[in-house]
């Protein structure tokens, strides 16, 4: 019997080692991601042997289970998840599965599950060196935007790590950004704003690293993230004023240079199916599009 309960900040003590053990590159496999979205997705967690389990749901939708993170015999864990779902009157639905996971499930449970590719959930992974240097013809336009930013701002700009002394300035910029974007009128932006607030409120406790970009005394962009796996750093948040030409490429490049150089890859998460965001993420030429699959029991798809 699995004992799921709402995730709390103190759970990081036992969850972090299991996530490190699994060494996965998917954006779902960070404690910070699971914690800041805990209310929106009703996230509950459980442990079975050396596996970290996540159950979530939104509104009246069936519950989803994250593919288990950890190590050991996977088969009894999947069976326990099946039982937990059935006790709630639903088939087992597993999110966050990558190709290797689907192959493992098919080996352990031949013919039991179906696998549906979910393009909107694909993570974008970039070579950190590429984001820092922006070398090559394909990234020429990004270099141009940065050069324009530097030319227009001359010596009036600077990058700063986010600290206790300036995090309030970054938050004020975020509030202004939300007002400009109409966060209060867009449900998806409202949800994101809630997660961003959680990142600010728990910046140190979640092990986040941040950076901001100033023009004069005004913060015009900021970014936050943290190490994800042994070779990947994840960027959770990136905000910039569109009215400041080159601010987005500049914070992207500066944050990568100051925080990601020791990691091979930078995971900039998915595009949630937004065409504008997809175009922007593809324009940086990802090294890996991390394919994600929805796993469901055959004959019981919702």
| Full set of structural domains in the chain with CATH | 5-120+291-297 (3.40.630.30), 123-269 (3.40.630.30)
Instruction: Label residue 302 by pLDDT band (50, 70, 90).
Output: very low
The yes-or-no verdict on residue 86 having pLDDT over 70 is yes
The predicted-structure confidence for 31-71, as pLDDT tens digits, reads as follows 999 999 999 999 999 999 999 999 999 888 899 999 999 99
Q: What DSSP state is assigned to residue 152?
A: H
210: which strand partners?
A: 224
Q: What DSSP state is assigned to residue 11?
A: G
| CB neighbourhood size of 179 (10 A) | 10
CA distance 73 to 71: 7
| CB neighbourhood size of 271 (10 A) | 20
Q: What DSSP state is assigned to residue 23?
A: T
Residue range 140-154: average pLDDT?
96
Flag whether the pTM goes above 0.85. Answer: yes
Helices marked H in 23-74 = 31-36
CA distance 238 to 255: 10
Instruction: Label residue 164 by pLDDT band (50, 70, 90).
Output: very high
Phi, psi of 65 (to 5 degrees): -115, 135
Q: What is the pLDDT of residue 184?
A: 85
| CB neighbourhood size of 150 (10 A) | 13
- Please, how many CA atoms are within 13 Å of residue 280, restricted to the half-sphere of its CB? 14
Instruction: Label residue 300 by pLDDT band (50, 70, 90).
Output: low
| CB neighbourhood size of 138 (10 A) | 12
Q: Which two tokens stand for residue 126?
A: 């970039």
In the chain, the percentage of residues whose pLDDT exceeds 70 is 99
The predicted-structure confidence for 252-289, as pLDDT tens digits, reads as follows 999 999 999 999 999 999 999 999 999 999 999 999 99
3-state secondary structure of 210: strand
CA distance 83 to 195: 31
Give the residue among 69, 71, 80 at the shortest CA–CA distance from 19.
69
Residue range 75-89: average pLDDT?
96
Instruction: Label residue 215 by pLDDT band (50, 70, 90).
Output: very high
Q: What is the pLDDT of residue 61?
A: 87
């Amino acid at each position: 019997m699995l004992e799921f309960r709402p995730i709390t900040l103190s759970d990081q003590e036992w969850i972090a080692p299991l996530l490190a053990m699994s060494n996965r590159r998917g954006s779902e496999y960070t404690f910070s991601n699971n914690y800041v979205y805990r209310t929106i997705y009703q996230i509950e967690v459980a442990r079975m042997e050396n596996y970290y389990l996540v159950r979530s749901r939104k509104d009246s939708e069936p519950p989803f289970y994250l593919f288990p993170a950890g190590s050991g015999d996977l088969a009894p864990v999947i069976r326990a998840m099946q039982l937990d779902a059935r006790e709630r009157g639903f088939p087992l639905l597993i999110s966050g599965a990558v190709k290797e996971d689907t192959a493992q499930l098919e080996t352990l449970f031949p013919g039991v599950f179906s696998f549906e590719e979910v393009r909107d959930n694909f993570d974008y992974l970039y070579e950190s060196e590429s984001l820092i240097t922006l070398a090559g013809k394909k990234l020429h336009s990004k270099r141009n935007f940065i050069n324009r930013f530097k030319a227009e701002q001359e010596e009036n700009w600077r990058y700063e790590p986010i600290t206790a002394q300036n995090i309030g300035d970054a938050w004020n910029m975020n509030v202004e950004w939300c007002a400009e974007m109409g966060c209060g009128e867009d449900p998806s932006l409202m949800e994101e704003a809630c997660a961003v607030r959680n990142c600010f409120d728990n910046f140190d406790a979640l092990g986040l690293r941040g950076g901001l970009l100033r023009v004069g005394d005004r913060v015009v962009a900021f970014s936050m993230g943290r190490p994800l796996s042994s070779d990947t750093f994840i960027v959770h948040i990136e905000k910039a004023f569109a009215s400041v030409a080159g601010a987005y490429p500049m914070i992207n490049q500066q944050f990568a240079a100051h925080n990601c150089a020791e990691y091979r890859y930078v995971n900039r998460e998915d595009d949630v199916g937004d065409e504008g965001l997809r175009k922007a993420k593809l324009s940086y030429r990802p090294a890996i599009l991390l394919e994600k699959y929805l796993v469901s029991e055959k004959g019981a798809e919702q």
